[in-house]
A = this chain, B = another copy of it.
Amino acid sequence: MKLYGYFRSSAAYRVRIALNWKGLEATREYVHLAKGEQRDPAYLKLNPQGLVPALVGDEGEVVLQSMAILEYLEERHPEPPLLPADAAGRARVRALGQAIACDIHPLNNLRVLKYLTGELGLGEAERGRWYRHWVHEGFAALERMLADDSRTGRYCHGDAVTLADLCLVPQVFNARRFETDLTAYPMLTRIDEALNSLPAFAAAAPGRQADAA
C-alpha cells in the first residue's frame, strides 16, 4: 500500500494511526500542502479533490477520504478491530468520529483558513476566533456525548481503541496548536492522554513524520 499524506493533516494523521494500530505497512508519499503540492496535476489525477490523505491499495485501487479509508482498512484487515461488534456501538463510534470529521475539522483545515485571510481579508485574530469557535462548539458536544454515556471507558467507547479515538487525538493535537483552552473538556483530555501513551498513536504524531519541518 501507499499513503499520500502531510505531517500536519489531521485526516492523514487518523490514517497513520490506523496503519500503526493494525500493523500494516504502507510506503509514504508526502504532499506538502503549505507549498501547494496538492495542486500538482499528477496528484490531482490521483485525487481530484486535491486533499490528503489518499491511499493506494495493493491492487492499485485508489481510496480517498480519510473516513472511507478507515472503513476500508477495517474491512480488509479486520484484526485488531477499530469498530465494536454490535450495530448500536458501531453507530456510536462512527457518530463520535464524524462529529469531529464532519463538524469540526472541515471548518478549520488549511484551505478554509486561507479563504478567511485571503478572500475575506480577515486578520490573524479573527481567524483564530473562527478556529476556536468551531472547536469549542464541537468539543462541548463531544464532552457531553462521552461524559453522559456509560459506554465511555478508558477510551471513547469502552476500553478498546476505535475509529472515534483515531479522530479525537489529531483534533486535540490541532486544537492545542491553535492555542485552544481545553480546560472545559476533562473527558476529552483524559482520553487523549491515555491514547497518546499507546505506541501506535505516539508514532503517528506530526512531529515524528519524515516530512515534518
Query: Which A residues lie at the B interface, using CB under 8 A?
Result: 48-51, 57, 59, 61, 63-65, 67-69, 71-72, 75-76, 87-88, 90-92, 94-95, 98-99, 101-103, 105-107, 111-112, 115, 119-120, 122, 126, 129-130, 133, 137-138, 140-142, 144-145, 148
Given contacts A71-B94, A107-B106, A119-B133, contact A99 B64 (CB under 8 A): yes
Partner of A88, one of B63, B101, B107, B133: B63
Asked whether B94 lies within 8 Å of A49 as measured between CB atoms, the reply is no
B-chain residues with CB within 8 Å of residue A138 when the two chains form the complex: 49
Contact check, B102 vs A75: say whether CB atoms are below 8 A apart: no
**Pair A126/B120 contact, Cβ less than 8 Å:** yes
> Contact between B107 and A87 (Cβ–Cβ < 8 Å)?
no
CA distance A94 to B71 in the complex (A): 9
Number of identical protomers = 2
B65–A95 CB distance below 8 A: yes
Taken together as a complex, chains A and B put the C-alpha atoms of A133 and B65 apart, in Å, by: 20
A77 → chain B, closest Cβ, in Å?
10
Complex CA distance for A147 and B164, rounded to whole angstroms: 33
- Complex interface: chain B residues within 8 A of A94 (CB): 65, 67-68, 71-72
The residue on B at minimum CB distance from A74 is B87
CB atoms of B120 and A120 under 8 A apart: yes
* CA gap between A85 and B142 in the complex, in Å: 33
19 more A-B contacts (CB under 8 A) besides A63-B91, A106-B106? A48-B140, A48-B142, A49-B141, A57-B88, A61-B88, A61-B91, A64-B95, A65-B94, A65-B102, A67-B67, A67-B102, A68-B98, A71-B91, A76-B87, A102-B105, A103-B106, A107-B107, A111-B137, A119-B129
Name the residue of chain B whose CB is nearest to the CB of A149.
Answer: B62
User: Which of B75, B98, B111 is within 8 Å of A90, CB to CB?
Assistant: B75
Residues of B within 8 A of A148 (CB): 48
> Once the chains are docked, how many angstroms separate the CA of A27 from the CA of B87?
21
Task: Give Cα distance in the complex from A42 to B91, angstroms.
Answer: 22
